[in-house]
C-alpha cells in the first residue's frame, strides 16, 4: 500500500469488555460478508456489530433476516447517505452491472448511474476507517482496464488508500474455482498484506450429500448426453458443460452462477447440486438456514461470495487497522 502510517485507532466502543467494530453490509445477499466479519472479529478478540444492511431483492432480505435477526433495508439508491448508521467498516459485494465510466470530471460524479456510485457517496458522507468491496473477476479487464482504474481513482479522490487483487476460492480450501476481485481501502493508510491462500482444498466427499432426493437427478436424455461426451470417473467429480458443449470432469466445481442452466454442473454427470451443497461450496456452515425455495437458494448461492476468502481478507484488514482485543 502506498501509505506507510499505521492506523492504531482501534474500534468505536466497548461492549461486554471487548472493542466493537460497527459494519454495514451493502448489497448484502445471503450475508457472506456478515459471516466473514464476525469470524474475523472473533479471531482478533473483538466484537463486530452489523448496524445497517440493504439489498433490493426481497428474498435476500428474507433469508438475511432469518439468519441474522435483522431486516435489511431495500434499494440503496433510494436511501440517503445520512440515514445510514455510522460505522467503522463498509462492506459491499456490489452487482456487476455494466459500467460506462468515462472519467470526464473530477470526483465520483463520473460513476453516477452505477451502483458503485452509491458506495462512493456513503464513503464520502460517513468516512469509515476501512472498506472491502467484492466483484467478478472480469471487472479487472472491463473496458480495457479503464473501469477498475476509474474506481481506484475515485477511491483515492475520496481520501482512501486502496488496492485490489483477484483471489480464487480454490486457494482458500473450497472445492470451487471462483475468482473474484477484492478491493480494500483505508482512510489512514497502513501496511496491508494480502492473504496467500495456501489452504488445502476440502474434498468433494466432505461437501456432497450422501443421499439426495430424486428431484435433483437430471433426465435420462441429459445423462446420456453427458456420457456421450465424457467417460464415467471412479472418484467424485463435478461435470461442467461449457457454452460450446464440451464437458470436463473435475474434483471441484466450476464457479456457481445465479443465471446458469440448471444442468450447467452435474455431480458425476448425473445430478444437480442441492441447495445445501451450493451453500457449502461457498463456505456457508450447515447451521445457516435455508429460508427460501430451492430455486431462490440456488440463485442466491450463485450470487454469493466465498466466505473463507472474505474472512481471510478481513483478517488482514483487522490487522492493518489495529482492531484487536488481544493482549501483546
Q: Which residues are catalytic?
A: 96
Q: Please, what is the angle between helix 116-126 and helix 146-157, to 10°?
A: 10
| CB 150, CB 101: distance < 8 Å | yes
| CB 186, CB 321: distance < 8 Å | yes
Taking Cα atoms as reference points, which of 98, 81, 93 lies closest to residue 158? 81
| CB 207, CB 175: distance < 8 Å | yes
Burial 213-251 (b: 16+ CB within 10 A, else e): eeebebeeebbebbeeeeeeeeebbbbbbeeeeebebee
3-state SS class at 118:
helix
Calpha distance 53→121 (Å, rounded):
16
Helix (H) or strand (E) holding 190: none
Q: Please, what is the angle between helix 58-68 and helix 294-303, to 10°?
A: 90
Taking Cα atoms as reference points, which of 181, 197, 193, 196 lies closest to residue 320? 193
Calpha distance 73→69 (Å, rounded):
13
3-state SS class at 47:
strand
Amino acid at each position: 500500500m502506498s501509505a506507510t502510517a499505521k492506523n492504531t485507532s482501534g474500534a468505536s466502543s466497548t461492549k461486554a469488555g471487548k472493542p466493537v467494530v460497527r459494519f454495514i453490509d451493502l448489497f448484502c445477499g445471503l450475508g457472506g460478508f456478515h459471516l466473514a466479519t464476525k469470524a474475523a472479529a472473533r479471531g482478533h478478540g473483538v466484537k463486530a456489530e452489523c448496524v445497517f444492511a440493504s439489498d433490493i431483492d426481497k428474498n435476500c432480505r428474507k433469508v438475511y433476516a432469518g439468519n441474522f435477526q435483522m431486516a435489511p433495508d431495500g434499494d440503496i439508491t433510494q436511501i440517503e447517505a445520512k440515514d445510514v448508521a455510522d460505522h467503522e467498516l463498509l462492506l459491499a459485494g456490489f452487482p456487476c452491472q455494466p459500467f460506462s465510466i468515462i472519467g470526464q470530471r473530477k470526483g465520483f460524479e463520473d460513476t453516477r448511474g452505477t451502483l458503485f456510485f452509491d458506495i462512493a457517496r456513503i464513503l464520502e458522507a460517513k468516512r469509515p476507517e476501512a472498506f472491502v468491496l467484492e466483484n467478478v473477476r472480469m471487472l479487472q479487464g472491463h473496458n480495457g482496464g479503464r473501469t477498475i482504474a476509474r474506481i481506484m481513482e475515485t477511491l483515492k479522490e475520496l481520501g482512501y488508500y486502496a488496492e485490489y487483487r483477484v483471489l480464487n476460492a480454490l486457494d482458500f480450501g473450497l472445492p470451487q474455482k471462483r475468482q473474484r476481485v477484492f478491493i480494500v481501502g483505508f482512510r489512514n493508510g497502513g501496511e496491508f498484506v494480502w492473504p496467500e491462500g495456501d489452504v488445502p482444498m476440502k474434498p468433494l466427499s466432505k461437501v456432497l450429500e450422501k443421499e439426495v432426493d430424486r428431484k435433483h437427478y437430471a433426465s435420462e436424455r441429459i445423462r446420456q448426453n453427458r456420457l456421450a461426451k465424457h467417460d464415467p470417473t471412479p472418484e467424485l467429480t463435478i461435470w461442467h458443460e461449457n457454452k460450446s458443449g464440451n464437458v470436463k470432469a473435475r474434483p471441484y466445481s466450476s464457479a456457481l452462477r445465479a443465471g446458469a442452466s440448471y444442468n450447467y454442473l452435474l455431480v458425476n454427470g448425473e445430478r444437480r447440486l442441492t441447495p445445501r451443497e451450493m451453500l457449502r461450496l461457498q463456505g456457508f456452515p450447515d447451521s445457516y438456514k435455508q429460508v427460501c425455495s430451492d430455486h431462490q437458494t440456488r440463485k442466491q448461492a450463485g450470487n454469493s461470495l466465498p466466505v473463507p476468502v472474505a474472512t481471510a481478507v478481513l483478517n488482514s484488514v483487522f490487522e492493518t487497522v489495529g482492531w484487536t482485543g488481544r493482549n501483546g
